[in-house]
Amino acid sequence: MAARLLLETGHRVVVHGRTQARADAALAAAAGADAAVIGDLSTLREMRAVAEQANRLGGFDAVIHNAATGYRESHRVETEDRLPALFATNTLAPYVLTALIGRPKRLVYLSSGMHRSARLDLHDLIWTRRSWRGAEAYAETKLHDVLIAFAVARRWPDVLCNALEPGWVATRMGGPGAPDDLDATHRTQVWLAVSDDSAARVSGRYFYHHRLRQPNQIAEREEAQEALVEACARLSGVALPG
C-alpha cells in the first residue's frame, strides 16, 4: 500500500521480497515499481545480499524498514546464525540494512503499540535463558526498532530518521477484529518518507497517524540506544557508521 501510494504520487519505488516468488508478487501488486530486491531477512547472509542489491541500484532518497515477522511463533525458531528468527528479522535486519545501504535522506522504521509494554533485556536479547513467549519477544523487537531509529537520528544529523506505529489493523497478524483503520497504516510511512510538511521534516521522533506520540521511555535513553547498537554490532559483525 505504501509502494502504491508512492507510485501514484510520482515517486520511483523499489520493493522487497523474501523469495523470488514473493518479489514477483510485490512487483505485481505495485505495478510500475522500478525493481525488487530479494532476500530472507532472517539470515545475516541474505541481509548483506539485500543491501548489496540495493546499493547496486543507486542512492535512495528514503528507505522504509517495514519487513517483519509476527508474534504467533509458539517456540523459539533458530536461524542458520543461531539467532531467533523473530529477533533477526525484526531487530537485526533493520540495523544491518541501515549500516550497509548507502545513507539516504530519510529513514522510517515501523514499530508497534506493543512496544510500550516491553523492557530492554540486554542480558538475553536472543532468548537463550528465558522461556519463549512470542508476544513478549515481538514487543521487545518493536522497542528495539525505536531505539535503533533514535540512535541513528543522533548519529546521522543529516538524515531525517523517525519511527511510527501503524495501528492494530486487520491483517493476518492483527486478525479480523482489529479496530484500527487499515487505510491509515501506510500513509504516515509515505508522509515521513517524502513530505515537505514541516511536521514531517523532523528527526528522532515517534508517530501514529501523522501525529507525534510518546514512545516507551526506554527508547529515549541514549545509554539504552547505544547498548542496543553495540549488541547488534557484536551479533552481526557489522558496525554502524558514525
Q: Report DSSP letters for 177-213, one per residue.
A: T--S-GGGTTHHHHHHHH---TTTS-SS-EEETTEE-
Looking at residue 202, its pLDDT comes to 98
Whether 206 sits among the annotated catalytic residues: the reply is: no
Inside any domain, residue 45: no
Closest CA to 64 of 153, 159, 170, 192: 192
Enter the C-alpha cell of residue 17: 521480497
Looking at residue 173, its pLDDT comes to 67
Inside any domain, residue 49: no
Please name the helix (run of DSSP H) or strand (run of DSSP E) that holds residue 144, with its range, or none: helix 134-155
Whether 105 sits among the annotated catalytic residues: the reply is: no
Inside any domain, residue 19: no
Cα distances (angstroms) measured from residue 165 to each of 154, 182, 187? 20, 12, 11
Kindly list the averaged pLDDT for each block of 10 residues, start to end, along the chain of length 242.
97 98 98 98 98 96 95 90 98 98 98 96 97 96 98 98 85 70 88 98 97 98 98 98 90
CB atoms within 10 A of CB 89: 22
Enter the C-alpha cell of residue 80: 542458520
| Sign, Cα dihedral of 75, 79, 83, 86 | negative
Inside any domain, residue 143: yes
Q: Is 65 helix (H, G, I), strand (E, B) or coil?
A: strand
Looking at residue 141, its pLDDT comes to 98
Domain residue limits at 183: 61-236
Catalytic residue among 95, 109, 142, 208: 142
User: Contact, 140 vs 231, CB < 8 A?
Assistant: no
Inside any domain, residue 23: no
Enter the C-alpha cell of residue 212: 507525534
65: phi then psi, degrees, rounded to nearest 5: -95, 90
Looking at residue 169, its pLDDT comes to 67
Cα distances (angstroms) measured from residue 157 to each of 23, 57, 105, 177, 228? 33, 24, 10, 40, 19
Catalytic residue among 95, 109, 138, 206: 138
Looking at residue 170, its pLDDT comes to 59
Inside any domain, residue 26: no
We report the CATH number of the domain holding residue 219 as 3.40.50.720
Inside any domain, residue 147: yes
Q: What total of structural domains would you count in the chain? A: 1
Inside any domain, residue 43: no
Q: Provide Rg for the chain, Cα atoms.
A: 17
Cα distances (angstroms) measured from residue 88 to each of 44, 95, 137, 150? 8, 10, 11, 19
